[in-house]
Amino acid sequence: MLMNFLEEKILLDGTIKQGNILKIDSFLNHQIDIDIIRQIAYELKRRFKGVEVTKVLTIEASGIAIATMLGNLYDVPVVFAKKSETANSTDDKYVSQAYSFTHKKMNSVFVSRPYLQASDRVLIVDDFLADGQAALALMDLVHQAGGKVSGVGIAVEKGQQKGGKMLREMGCKLESIAIVEEMDWEKQTIQFREQPKRKLGKTNLKKK
Which residues here bind its own copies, judged by CB under 8 A?
25-26, 30-35, 37-38, 60-61, 64-65, 67-69, 71-72, 75-80, 82, 111-112, 114-115
- For the bound state, the minimum distance from the C-beta of residue 111 to its own copies, rounded and expressed in Å, comes to 8
Q: Which helix (H) or strand (E) holds 95?
A: strand 93-100
- For the bound state, the minimum distance from the C-beta of residue 64 to its own copies, rounded and expressed in Å, comes to 4
Strand partners, 97: 108
Nearer to its own copies, 119 or 191 (CB): 119
- For the bound state, the minimum distance from the C-beta of residue 72 to its own copies, rounded and expressed in Å, comes to 6
Nearer to its own copies, 70 or 179 (CB): 70
DSSP class per residue in 103-145: TTEEEEEEEEGGGS-TT-EEEEEEEEESSSHHHHHHHHHHHHT
- Taking the CB of residue 51, how many other CB atoms lie within 10 A of it? 13
Nearer to its own copies, 36 or 129 (CB): 36
Nearer to its own copies, 74 or 192 (CB): 74
- For the bound state, the minimum distance from the C-beta of residue 164 to its own copies, rounded and expressed in Å, comes to 25
- For the bound state, the minimum distance from the C-beta of residue 131 to its own copies, rounded and expressed in Å, comes to 21
Whether 71 and 56 have beta carbons less than 8 Å apart is answered as yes
Whether 95 and 108 have beta carbons less than 8 Å apart is answered as yes
Q: Is residue 146 classed as helix, strand or coil in its secondary structure?
A: coil
Nearer to its own copies, 42 or 161 (CB): 42
- Residue 25 vs residues 33, 127, 145, 193: alpha-carbon distances, Å: 10, 11, 33, 21
